[in-house]
Amino acid sequence: MSYLKQPDYVRYVCNCGSLKPISKIYFCRHCSKIRCGYCVCQEVDSHYCTNCMENLPSTEVRLKKNKCSNCFECPCCFQTLCTRAGHVPIRVAPVEGENSKDVKTTPKKVYYLSCSLCRWTSRDAGIPDQSVATGGWPEQENPHTSRINALIDYHKILASIEKQQCEKKKFRPKRPYMPIAMFRITSAMVRKHIGHPTKPSAPSTDQPPPAVASTEVEELPADIFTAPVDITKVTTLAQRLQHPDVQAENVNELRPQRRQFLVKRSQRCRVCEHNLSKPDLCPQSTKFKIQLAAFYHVPEVRIVTCEPLRPGKSSELLLKFCNPTQHQTQITLLPLDTPMTSTVTVLDEKEEHKHEIMQQGSESPNLLPSIVRQVPIPEETKSIKITANADLVLPHSPLILPPRDDIAEYDDTSDTHNFQDDPKLVVWRKDNKAVMKLHVTPHEDIQKSDGQSVIIGFVMQYGYVNTITALEHKAPQKLDLKVKLYLTVGNIVGNA
């Protein structure tokens, strides 16, 4: 499992020019291209609470200020608080005729909040116990609530006025201007004659008083420099930022806060607007309706081992290739200067672009017309800031990998599928995996001090079977795709 510790050693070049590991990129089956986090748009599907798994629509979440009404967080360690039960003795008044000394006490069940990690309780903050376990906990009020509500109401009025003005301009009928040469009477003269104002006044709005800066500051206590400081009773910076409206200075002033909702989001390709990742709406479910992660469609490359690297000397490098698809693929390693364009040759550029889109099946009949859909914004390709500082001897023969078989993972027979591999090139093979031997020669101008990273790069061409059917192509299509990779194989150990 050593490959789990090298997430950034093997990086794939996205279509936009970003370098990402295979675990952080997607593969669009409609565009047949790699998409990173910058090439997808995020969409919120649902809001849910991680503790009680309550799922609410966006309108209710907005009304509840994105906070759960049942779950609370500890103000000290930010863990979820638990509801604990306790008993409080209650004295019962004596019946008439009985001795006042014979007072009976009956236990009453009450509930309070407690943290199982730091042992903080609501009783430490002076919050009274509740007789019901499902709510009724008092919330800490914001001292600036009235000011905030006044500003919100004022801006709502301004927004409604602006909306009305836009609607009037939008639906104003266009009438031709017909000057009356006989009377020369304008609308302003008519309004002035009947006593109306020259311009219609806008609806009055009660503007809240503006904020005024004050130079007066509260004086510090006299014993601020002499009184001993108890760190356990003073709040930390994280605890104060958790309550930005109050910013309590002492621990006993902290109050529990309602737990915020999390969201389930889906990723959509910016070019073809198809979903690349879409989770299930149920909060308890960890499955995905659509999951087009790159490690399900693009061959994965892992570094097995590499000999000590020295400038100007050849070192042996072992790379492991894995085929994650259900179809046999053929992998060919090409130099970095290989063009990444398609192999289809058409005379006209417009026809070539149209043919490429039709071949990749990006014009799906299920999409809405282009007038309704959002127009995609093409982004310029970023320049790759990393450069290879070592020479790599690439093999001339391709590598064939069989399809993935989950049952074969438990088979110890080591079936090689009767592939006639070159023993100098392929040193190990099992199921849909194979290890290839390559030779790396670092440049002589590399600094000979220890710690200098050696980076190699190549273009991997692999066969991909597109199973998405379009109107032009009913059968699955087989494409030869290319992706550029940069590998950090190790560090320079010196010239000795």
Residue 480 has pLDDT above 50, yes or no: yes
pLDDT at residue 188, rounded to an integer? 62
pLDDT digit string, tens, across residues 33-51: 899 888 899 888 889 998 8
pTM: 0.69
Tell which wins on pLDDT, 345 or 495. 495
Q: What is the mean pLDDT of the chain?
A: 79
Confidence of residue 224 (pLDDT cuts 50, 70, 90): confident
Rounded Cα gap, residues 294 and 325, in angstroms: 11
User: Quick one: pLDDT band at residue 343, thresholds 50, 70, 90?
Assistant: very low
Instruction: Give the pair of three-digit tokens for residue 292.
Output: 């087009």
Rounded to whole angstroms, what are the CA distances from 370 to 274, 349, 366, 470? Answer: 14, 22, 12, 17
Say which DSSP state 327 is in: S
Task: Read off the tokens for 244.
Answer: 């930005």
CB 92 within 8 A of CB 104: yes
As a whole number of angstroms, the distance between CA 399 and CA 425 comes to 9
pLDDT attached to residue 469: 61
Note every long-range contact of 476-484, with CB atoms under 8 Å and residues 24 or more positions apart, other chains counting. Answer: 477/359, 477/361, 479/32, 479/359, 479/360, 480/343, 481/32, 482/334, 482/338, 482/340, 483/12, 483/13, 483/34, 483/298, 483/459, 484/12, 484/13, 484/336, 484/340, 484/457, 484/458, 484/459, 484/460
Residue whose structure tokens are 């100098």: 424
Express each pLDDT in 241-300 by its tens digit: 888 888 888 888 888 888 999 998 899 988 888 889 888 888 888 888 888 888 899 999
Query: Mean pLDDT across the stretch 321-335?
Result: 91
Rounded to 10 degrees, the C-alpha dihedral 325/326/328/333 comes to 0
The phi and psi torsions of 354 (rounded to 5 degrees) equal -65, -40
